[in-house]
A and B are shown apart, each in its own frame.
Chain A
Amino acid sequence: MREFIDLIIMQFKTIKAYLAVFLFIPILFPIAIILVFGSISMKEFTPYIVAGTITFDISIGVITLVAQILASEKQSGRFSLMIAAGIPKEVYAISIALSYGLADILSIIVILLVGIYFLHLQVASIPYLAIAIIASIFMASVFGMTLGLGIKNPYAVYQYSQIIGLTLTFFAPVYFPITFIPIPFRYLAYLEPTTYVSQAIYNAFGGNPASLLWSLGIVIIGVIFVIISRYAIKGA
């Protein structure tokens, strides 16, 4: 456990080196999106704009980033370094996924504050929102881990993770209600994890207990990724 905490601290120290990128991609970029979308959309869709932007942030800031960081760790041989130091590769991979997941909480808070102050968003249930966000970060971290370790070629990981990150944001109902999608296509949307993230957060804003059901969906998807990532770690 002590080593695990040291790994997390070490990861945070390395994140510090990317501060400029960290400030732009996971914080300033989503703020720009939320303000632009928020100013051109109707007021009743404001919660969707904020929920969608948080989903976008989790997609890019956790799934894509964790996958790319793990691929780069593999490429630079640091898994060997850690195994030689007595750290199991599972623990090392989880520490990276978790630290980037936790770092993303900061940008989620910033997005929420921008939503509240500039778009007059109201959050009816903080517990529902906390559950939705924690479940989403867990799922996104494990998803990123699966991508980063499951695909052997690191350059392929960089490409796929970017495409997946963007696809899961703009080809899923994250900025609008799922009911906007006609029935046969709606079933496809249920296959996208970001649908669950966005809906859980949106329902939490309204204090709707359905948020918990969506969060349960996120956890189930997360557990599926845990199972897949175990095989990915073994093969890495």
Chain B
Amino acid sequence: MNIIEVNHVWKYYGDLLANEDISMFVKEGEIVALLGPNGAGKTTLVKQIYGELTPTRGEIRVFGKKPTDRGIKRMMGVVPQEVEPYEDLTVWDNIYYMGKLKGMKKDEIKKRGEELLEMLDLKEKRNSLVRDLSGGLKRRTLIAMALINNPKLVILDEPTTGLDPQARREVWEILLNMKKEGQSMLLTTHYLDEAEKLADRIYFIYKRILIEGTTAEIKEKFADWYEVIDYSAGKIYRVKGEEEVKKIISDIKGKFEVRIPSLEEIYLQVMKDIERVH
């Protein structure tokens, strides 16, 4: 079953095109990553999916309904981009009031809230004001706020941007644990390693969908690309087709290595092609 369905969505800000004919979906229990550089229209698309913006053209369905439907929001947990929890409230108050705003009862909030404090390792910080927390702990608080209603779908817009490497790892750990529990997630990122580590499927996006598939499928699409590293000359050749590889190898005198390109190299190549077109 598709939890999110995006059909031919276009979004303009005045004359500026942000999303061009985007169609995508997220199935139940799946983690999907929208991968693209800054300004690629990822946040615009996500904002339309959780109902902050409406498409100029096209249609979005979340759990079969319009994203602006209030009932749908009760089934969602969202961590928007570059958002801060309430700094003058404690970690617990942030979680508690988010539960109240999502229409939960006191007892439910207390039970789920305690579980989340435990799960996200926030127990010791329960009564700390958010303004006193590190970036990683603030992000964990936001995740707890998003998860308080036990949502069927979690949307995370660049969940690790601005975090130090350790805090990034911590957030990954949390998301991977959620994945193990069968949580459906849509996340946006411009980090290749993040998409590769977390996502079941990836959409390369730059205003429109460029490539779509699992990491393996995307690599398969670029299966005839090779990277030949000439260690003796210190050169790297990117070539297409086995014949070309053989030709280059025959000219190399010394040690060499032939690799299939990583997701990062494919991504960079695709983005380069896009830049050339624009």
Contacts and interface: CB of A to CB of B under 8 A. Distances in A.
B101 A78 contact: no
Interface string B44-86: 0001001110000000000000000010011010101111101
8 contacts: A13-B88, A13-B93, A14-B89, A78-B83, A80-B52, A83-B51, A84-B78, A86-B70
Contacts of B93: 10, 13
Interface residues of A, number: 22
B221 interface: no
B129 interface: yes
Nearest to B81: A77
A86 B74 contact: yes
A7 B83 contact: no
Contacts, number: 69
Given A3-B101, A14-B89, 16 more contacts: A10-B93, A13-B93, A76-B84, A77-B81, A77-B84, A78-B84, A80-B47, A80-B52, A80-B78, A80-B80, A81-B145, A82-B101, A85-B78, A85-B98, A86-B70, A86-B73
Contact of B86 (A3, A9, A10): A10
A6 interface: yes
A80 B89 CA distance: 18
Given A17-B88, A17-B129, A84-B76, A76 B101 contact: no
A93 B219 CA distance: 48
Contact of B89 (A13, A81, A86): A13
Contact of B101 (A6, A16, A18): A6
A87 interface: yes
B112 interface: no
Chain A interface main SS type: helix
Interface of B: 47, 50-52, 70, 73-74, 76, 78, 80-84, 86, 88-89, 93, 97-98, 100-103, 129, 145, 155
Contact of A7 (B101, B102, B103): B101
A18 B129 CA distance: 13
Interface in A1-27: 2-3, 6-7, 9-10, 13-14, 16-18
A3 B50 CA distance: 19
B189 to A, nearest CB: 17
Given A17-B129, A83-B50, A86-B102, A6 B86 contact: no
